[in-house]
Every structure is written in structure tokens, then in C-alpha cells.
């Protein structure tokens, strides 16, 4: 496992060298064997726990990254990795660089008085949810391992501690650019943008200001694709702060995330999202807002005159709504197997969503039933039988294949995830996890033993998720 440090070249205060704090009794709880094979991570089994607990000496000193963030709309100029240590970067089987980071590995210079630790529950949640999203074809950070620390984490109540090993194609956030922009570090901004371009957008060959305008355009389009994919499967991130927005377009930070069961655009589960800022249906607006914050940070790279820079970036930012509407309509067309174009399709989708909400129908199961209705029409939910007559007239022999690729049969149901987390908190293991992950690994076409994983509560009210800190 070759580690390649890079962030230390950006600015003096961007990546602070800091080693993980050792833990008392590391125990390997989860190991992602397929991911380890993809990255040729061949650490001896007996050393995995201590290595990914941060107890083993590293050939390259770890760093904690600095970043800012708009958290629920309020700007914090200095956040940073308060409980994470970046070990370096490794290459996958396609020669793509990925960051490898320990989360929950102890206090750093950015901890702001926190203990730098992670409770077991959020660590297991990140493993389940990130691997589930990966299987659903959604860009995401990956989880290599979860190690129990053998120590208590003092929350309310005290909980077992754990450390997550996270892989990401980079940890460059919108908040990373905000951090350097706030300090007026134009040179650092340029270095960071160039690194992001090298890692994620190597095909951009423009020079000068055009290079960074193209970068902004590419980030916006990647964010759009990510949000559309979340909405397609009913994923609610729950904490879409600018420090949790990667310029790579990958999902990061699984603290208060959840899946929507009963369809409702206003669905929100995060205990700290009192105003529904990050509700299911508001995620596109927040993504657009976050991209605008990135644009603000890039102003010094575009033009010395702020007004000139803004005028150059405005058309790029303004395209978000138009592009979203196009991709959003395409998403529904795929979920419903619509062929060609019909001006009445928007009304067809609107009527469907009204029935879904009025009758509190399950989002995933409804679209799975509509997909399977090409084999057996009796599975169409009764409230949709009349609507389905209009819908069927817009489909053809290719519709089943289109829909099956867009509509999962199973998702990581909240109540199952919570049961597994409780098992780990009480017993340090869960017999439910392995079969659950096997089913989630093939979410679109799996057909064996899935009924128990498709069951969903009729109401989501009262369910709450919490940040991992």
C-alpha cells in the first residue's frame, strides 16, 4: 500500500501534520474484502485492526485538513478535520488516486475542544450506507474497515468507540476553497483548483481564467448528477453543508442520512434540521446554493475585478435550474419507462406523485411494482390502477428494461439499519448484517429472499437521525 502525500503543497496551514491517537484494544469489526482487493491492500489480517486504528507507525506523517463551511446556512471560517487523519493517497486497479483517511482517530488541531472520536453506531451506518449507495450506482466515498477501539465514547449516553477507514477520490470540498478564499490566499486557491482539476477533471485543457470557469462548470454538472441520483432512489443526505460537498461529486458524510419510505418531498429525518433545509425535495436548491458558494471562492482566479469575475461566472451558475429540470424530467422518464417525448408527460408524473403522497405509498415499492407490472399487472397498487391506464399507453417493449435499471428492488431500509446498529451497540456484532449487505449488493435485479427487506413502515413520522459527532 503506497501512500502519496499531496495536500501539504497547497498552503502552509491547509494540511497540518498530526498523527492519530492510539487506542486501547483495537478490534476489526468490518472488513471490505472486495475494496481491499481493488486497491491491492495486502495488510496481514492480524495487523489490520491496529493499522486502521492508527496504532501502527506510518511511513508518511498523517495530516488533518483545514476547511470552512456553511452549516445550515451559517458560515464557520475554521472547521477542518476535527476527528480525522488523512494518511495519504493510494492507487486503485485503474491507476486512479484515492485518499485514505481514518475517521474517529483522535483530536487534531481542528477539534475545537472535541474528543476526536466516533461512536460505533455512526461508523456502522457509514459502512452500510456508503456500500449501499455504491451498489445503487451512486458516486460515493467508500468504507474499507470499521475498527472497534475498546474504549467508550462519552456521548449521551456513553457508547462504544470505533474508527472508520474511508476512501475518497479526494477530500477537496467546497469548504476547502472557502477556507483559502477567506484567508485571501489566491496562490493556495490556484494550487487547490489545479490539484482538483488534475484529480477529477484531467480532460479540461483550457488555460488561465477559462480553466477555472470550466472547473466550476464541471463541478456543477457533477453535483447535478449526484442530486438526481439521490432523488431517484429516495436518499436524503441530511447535512448538505458546504464542508460536506466534494468537488468530485461523491457522497460524503453519512451522519444523519436516511432513505425515504412514504413519498413526500418534505421528508426530513435529521434531528438538527429543524427547518427542513435539507429535506428530500429541497436538495436540488441546496446543491445550487453550495455551487454558488464555490463560485464566490473562485472569484480571485477569474478576474482581479470582482464584478467582471461575477459576470463571467453568472451564466455558468444560472444554468443549474435549466439543467436540473432537464435531468429531473429524464429521471422520471427512466423510472416510468416513458419512450419518446410527450408534452403531457409532466402532467402524468404530477398526477402520480399526488396519488403517492395522498395514499402514503412507499416510494421504492411502488416503482418496483410498476416495473414488475409488465410481467404481472395485478401488482399495481390499487390507488394507481386508473392512472396506470394512461401510463401504459406511453410505454413499449423496452420500458421494463429501462425501469429495472432505474428502480431498485431493495434499499437500505431505515428500520433494518437501526436494528443492526442496536445489535452492534449491545453485542458488538449483528447476524443481520451479512445477508442484508448481500441483498443490497444487487439492488436492481436481486429476487431471492427479498420480501423481508422490502417491508416498510406505513408512517415515517417520529423517526430521527443524528450527526455522528
Give residue-wise pLDDT tens across range 140-191: 999 999 999 999 998 878 999 999 999 999 999 999 999 999 999 999 999 9
Report the alpha-carbon distance of residue 402 to residue 425 in Å, rounded. Answer: 41
**Per-residue model confidence (pLDDT) at position 376:** 96
Instruction: Please answer whether residues 391 and 356 qualify as being in contact, where contact means their C-beta atoms are separated by less than 8 angstroms.
Output: no
- Looking at residues 211-223, what average pLDDT do you find? 98
Per-residue pLDDT of 35-53, as tens digits, reads 999 999 999 999 999 999 9
3-state secondary structure of 127: helix
Q: Put residue 25 in one of left, alpha, beta given phi > 0 → left and psi -120 to 50 → alpha.
A: beta
Q: Put residue 287 in one of left, alpha, beta given phi > 0 → left and psi -120 to 50 → alpha.
A: alpha
**Per-residue model confidence (pLDDT) at position 217:** 98
- Looking at residues 49-72, what average pLDDT do you find? 93
Per-residue pLDDT band for 469 (boundaries 50, 70, 90) equals: low
Q: Quick count: other Cβ atoms within 10 Å of Cβ 21?
A: 17
421 Cβ contact partners less than 8 Å away, ≥ 6 residues apart: 120, 121, 124, 125
Residues annotated catalytic, as ranges: 243
Q: Where are the alpha helices (DSSP H) in 170-282?
A: 174-182, 186-200, 209-233
Which residues are paired to 15 by β-bridges?
Answer: 65
**Per-residue model confidence (pLDDT) at position 421:** 97
- Looking at residues 16-21, what average pLDDT do you find? 95
Report the alpha-carbon distance of residue 406 to residue 444 in Å, rounded. Answer: 8
Q: What angle do CA 88, 93, 96 make, to 5 degrees?
A: 50
Instruction: Please answer whether residues 252 and 211 qualify as being in contact, where contact means their C-beta atoms are separated by less than 8 angstroms.
Output: no
**Per-residue model confidence (pLDDT) at position 2:** 47
Q: What angle do CA 102, 107, 109 make, to 5 degrees?
A: 105
**Per-residue model confidence (pLDDT) at position 345:** 96
Whether the pLDDT of residue 238 is over 70: the answer is: yes
Whether the pLDDT of residue 214 is over 70: the answer is: yes
In the chain, % of residues over pLDDT 70? 99
Taking CA atoms, 140 is separated from 8, 127, 272, 362, 417, in Å, by 24, 11, 23, 25, 18
Handedness of CA 93, 98, 99, 102 (dihedral sign): negative
Whether the pLDDT of residue 116 is over 70: the answer is: yes
Whether the pLDDT of residue 290 is over 80: the answer is: yes
Q: How far is CA 109 from the centre of its chain?
A: 26
Instruction: Please answer whether residues 432 and 419 qualify as being in contact, where contact means their C-beta atoms are separated by less than 8 angstroms.
Output: yes
Instruction: Please answer whether residues 421 and 125 qualify as being in contact, where contact means their C-beta atoms are separated by less than 8 angstroms.
Output: yes
Per-residue pLDDT of 408-441, as tens digits, reads 999 999 999 999 999 999 999 999 999 999 999 9
Q: Where are the alpha helices (DSSP H) in 303-384?
A: 306-336, 345-358, 363-372
**Per-residue model confidence (pLDDT) at position 95:** 84
User: Which three cell numbers, joined as nine digits, stand for 161?
Assistant: 468507540
Per-residue pLDDT band for 355 (boundaries 50, 70, 90) equals: very high
Q: What angle do CA 144, 149, 153 make, to 5 degrees?
A: 115
Report the alpha-carbon distance of residue 293 to residue 177 in Å, rounded. Answer: 9
Instruction: Please answer whether residues 279 and 267 qualify as being in contact, where contact means their C-beta atoms are separated by less than 8 angstroms.
Output: yes
pTM attached to this predicted model? 0.96
Amino acid at each position: 500500500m503506497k501512500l502519496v502525500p499531496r495536500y501539504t503543497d497547497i498552503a502552509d496551514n491547509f494540511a497540518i501534520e498530526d498523527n492519530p491517537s492510539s487506542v486501547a484494544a483495537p478490534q476489526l469489526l468490518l472488513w471490505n474484502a472486495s475494496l481491499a482487493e481493488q486497491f491491492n491492500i495486502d495488510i496481514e489480517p492480524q495487523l489490520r485492526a491496529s493499522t486502521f486504528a492508527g496504532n501502527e507507525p506510518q511511513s508518511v506523517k498523517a495530516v488533518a485538513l483545514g476547511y470552512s463551511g456553511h452549516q445550515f446556512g451559517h458560515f464557520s471560517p475554521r472547521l477542518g478535520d476535527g476527528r480525522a487523519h488523512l494518511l495519504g493517497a493510494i492507487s486503485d486497479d485503474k491507476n486512479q488516486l484515492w485518499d485514505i483517511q481514518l475517521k474517529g482517530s483522535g483530536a487534531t488541531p481542528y477539534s475545537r475542544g472535541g474528543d476526536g472520536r466516533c461512536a460505533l453506531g455512526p461508523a456502522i451506518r457509514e459502512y452500510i450506507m456508503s456500500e449501499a449507495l455504491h451498489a445503487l450506482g451512486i458516486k460515493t466515498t467508500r468504507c474499507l474497515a470499521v475498527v472497534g477501539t475498546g474504549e467508550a465514547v462519552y456521548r449521551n449516553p456513553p457508547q462504544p468507540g470505533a474508527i472508520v477507514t474511508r476512501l475518497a477520490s479526494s477530500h477537496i470540498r467546497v469548504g476547502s476553497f472557502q477556507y483559502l478564499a477567506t484567508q485571501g490566499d489566491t496562490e493556495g486557491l490556484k494550487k487547490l483548483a489545479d490539484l482538483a482539476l488534475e484529480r477529477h477533471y484531467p480532460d479540461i485543457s483550457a488555460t488561465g481564467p477559462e480553466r477555472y470557469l470550466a472547473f466550476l462548470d464541471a463541478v456543477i454538472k457533477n453535483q447535478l448528477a449526484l442530486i438526481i441520483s439521490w432523488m431517484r432512489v429516495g436518499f436524503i443526505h441530511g447535512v448538505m453543508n458546504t464542508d460536506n460537498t466534494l468537488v468530485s461529486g461523491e457522497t460524503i458524510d453519512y451522519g444523519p442520512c436516511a432513505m425515504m419510505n412514504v413519498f413526500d418531498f418534505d421528508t426530513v429525518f435529521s434531528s438538527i434540521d429543524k427547518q427542513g433545509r435539507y429535506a428530500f425535495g429541497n436538495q436540488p436548491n441546496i446543491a445550487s446554493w453550495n455551487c454558488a458558494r464555490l463560485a464566490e471562492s473562485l472569484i480571485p482566479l477569474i478576474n482581479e475585478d470582482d464584478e467582471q469575475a461575477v459576470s463571467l461566472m453568472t451564466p455558468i451558475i444560472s444554468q443549474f435550474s435549466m439543467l436540473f429540470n432537464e435531468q429531473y424530467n429524464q429521471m422520471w422518464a427512466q423510472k416510468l419507462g416513458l419512450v419518446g417525448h410527450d408534452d403531457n408527460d409532466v402532467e402524468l408524473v404530477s398526477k402520480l406523485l399526488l396519488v403517492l403522497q395522498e395514499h402514503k405509498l412507499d416510494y421504492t415499492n411502488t416503482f418496483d411494482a410498476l416495473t414488475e407490472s409488465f410481467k404481472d399487472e395485478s401488482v399495481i397498487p390499487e390507488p394507481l390502477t386508473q392512472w396506470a391506464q394512461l401510463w401504459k399507453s406511453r410505454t413499449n417493449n423496452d420500458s421494463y428494461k429501462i425501469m429495472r435499471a432505474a428502480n431498485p428492488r431493495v434499499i437500505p431500509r431505515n428500520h433494518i439499519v437501526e436494528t443492526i446498529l442496536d445489535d452492534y451497540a449491545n453485542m458488538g456484532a449483528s447476524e443481520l448484517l451479512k445477508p442484508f449487505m448481500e441483498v443490497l449488493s444487487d439492488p436492481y435485479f436481486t429476487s431471492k429472499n427479498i420480501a423481508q427487506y422490502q417491508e416498510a413502515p406505513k408512517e415515517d413520522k417520529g423517526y430521527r437521525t443524528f450527526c455522528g459527532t
